[in-house]
Amino acid sequence: MTDLNIGLIGYKFMGKVHSYAIKMAPFFFDIKINPVQKVICGRTEHLVKQAAESFGWDEYMTDWREVIKRDDIDIISIASPTLVHRDIAVEAAKAGKHIFCEKPQAMNASEAKEMLEVAEDAGIVHMLGHNYRRVPALAQAKKMIDEGKLGEIYHFRAVYLQDWIMDPEFPAIWKLKKDIAGSGPHGDLNAHIIDLARFLVGDISTVVGMDKTFIKERPKPGTGEKLKTMLTADGQNSEHLEEVDVEDMMAFLARFKDGAVGTFEATRFAGGRKNHERIEINGSKGTLVFNFEKMNELYYWSNQEDLETQGFKKILVTEECHPYIEAYWPPGHLIGYQNTFVNEFADFFKYIDEGTKAEPNFYDGWKVNQVLDAVMKSTESKSWENVESF
């Protein structure tokens, strides 16, 4: 087994997820690489030190450039805000490091294309973190579509609904700042369902969208005060509030190159929805339905069955014949969100060991960024936009 040292850039939510997946990939899967948690990196020293101790990293650093320069680092895992994805990935590729990068790949399609070109020139393995491809139920859906069980695809419809910023007093964190995140739920959530659309159906040709920001000003992070105390006597906003310059929701229509049509919606204002990612695909022979809040289930309807017994059936995707499941538990014993990352890191390590192209990679990330950019442009132009123009 070959030791490969990993440098992880980022230590919060996704840093914790990556740490877990890196640690557990060789536990569940038979891989020929031993991933060594060498160094974790973040800007705030006392917090990244704590993360190193909690997540099992040998060392910690505060400058990602210094991590990349190290000769003993083989892999860079990027779990930082979108703003710095391009800079980290370009430097890492030029240094010959394999790269795993979280989505969205970049702030825009131009940056994403640059990342792709530099990574390809460097000859390194580059992979994008769209973990939902590694949900066994969605991998099973891909298999069924490829086998022709849905026939010609007519519709792809998807929603990704959350509600965690509905409180007007929720602070203006980095995900609500365009110069750091690039967009709101569009890049954060629509990126996932756009990737699934490409994975399951194919490339998108044209789009038209609409967006809305419901709460236009929020408390600055760290103020710790109630919103009502942040108003002056005449009701005007005080210095404790700042503008929200990203959308709170984004919905769009899409035409696929193969003739299918799609509808997409992402919002953080769907009360009661915590992580409701749902897709439905309708074809000439059948329909598939998936809801991440019941991630071990896939629903399938087929018009090839007798009319007398036609209807949606639940496929519990926990049998050894289902994708990834053989590595886990006996039938009926469910897996969870964290296992989707274990699955993708196991695949990433296999790609490195075999010297094969990862899926999804920076090409796929660039194609997703093209769609994201085209939709955002369409909200300004109020017209259909050609994806390949971006």
Assess whether pLDDT exceeds 70 at residue 240: yes
Given a contact cutoff of 8 angstroms between Cβ atoms, the answer to whether 75 and 89 are in contact is no
Question: Which tens digits make up the pLDDT trace of 328-364?
Answer: 999 999 999 999 999 999 999 999 999 999 999 999 9
Residue at a domain's end among 81, 97, 132: 132
Query: Is 98 within 8 Å of 352 (Cβ atoms)?
Result: yes
User: What is the pLDDT confidence band of residue 235, given thresholds at 50, 70 and 90?
Assistant: very low
285 Cβ contact list (under 8 Å, min separation 6) = 148, 149, 150, 151, 302, 303, 304
More confident residue, 7 or 231: 7
CA atoms within 13 A on the CB side of 197: 34
The mean pLDDT value for 69-95 works out to: 98
Q: What is the pTM of this model?
A: 0.94
Residue 32 lies in a domain: yes
- For residues 294 and 346, membership in a common domain is answered with yes
274 and 151 together in one domain: yes
Q: Rg of the Cα trace of the chain?
A: 22
Whether 199 and 345 map to the same domain: the answer is yes
> Of 92, 112, 132, which residue constitutes the final position of a domain?
132
Number of domains observed in the structure of the chain: 2
Q: Taking residues 171-175, what's their average pLDDT? A: 94
Peptide bond into 104 cis (omega under 30): yes
pLDDT band for position 238 (50/70/90)?
low
CATH of the domain at 244: 3.30.360.10
Give tens-digit pLDDT for 144-168: 999 999 999 999 999 999 999 999 9
Whether 373 maps to a domain, the answer reads: yes
The string of DSSP letters for 165-176 reads T-STTS---GGG
Task: Tell me the C-alpha to C-alpha distance, in Å, between residue 270 and each of 4, 83, 167, 276.
Answer: 43, 26, 12, 9
Pair 50, 140 in one domain: no
- Residues 378 and 384: their CA atoms lie apart, in Å, by 6
Does some domain include residue 387? no
103-119 pLDDT tens trace = 999 999 999 999 999 99
Span 244-271, average pLDDT = 98
CA 39 to CA 73: how far, in whole Å?
9
Residue 50 shares a structural domain with residue 170: no
Give percent of the chain with pLDDT exceeding 90: 95
CA distances from 194 to 51, 168, 251 (A): 32, 29, 12
Say yes or no: 373 and 278 in one domain: yes
Mark whether 255 and 141 lie in a shared domain. Answer: yes
What pLDDT score was predicted for residue 223?
57
**Same structural domain for residues 252 and 217?**
yes
CATH number of the domain that residue 103 is part of: 3.40.50.720
Q: Both 223 and 345 in a single domain?
A: yes
Asked if residue 236 has pLDDT above 80, the reply is no
Range with lowest mean pLDDT among 117-131, 227-241, 321-335: 227-241
Q: In this structure, is residue 311 part of a structural domain?
A: yes
Average pLDDT over residues 120-149: 98
Residue 105 contacts residue 368 (beta carbons within 8 Å): yes
Establish if 76 belongs to a structural domain: yes
Q: Is residue 386 part of a domain?
A: no
Domain-embedded: residue 325: yes
pLDDT in tens, 8-39: 999 999 999 999 999 999 999 999 999 999 99
Q: Which domain-ending residue is among 97, 132, 167?
A: 132
> Would you state the pLDDT for residue 73?
98
Question: What residues make up the domain containing 114?
Answer: 2-132
Inside any domain, residue 54: yes
- Inter-CA distances, 41 with 63, 106, 129, 185, 228, Å: 7, 20, 18, 26, 38
Answer yes or no: is pLDDT of 313 > 50.
yes
pLDDT value at 226 more than 70: no
Q: Are residues 118 and 253 in the same domain?
A: no
Classify 266 as helix, strand or coil.
strand
In whole angstroms, give the CA distance from residue 311 to residue 2. Answer: 50
State the chain's mean pLDDT as an integer.
95
Same-domain pairing of 71 and 220: no
Same structural domain, 126 and 143: no
Contact 242, 139 (CB under 8 A): no
The residues that bridge with 291 in the sheet, in sequence order, are: 278
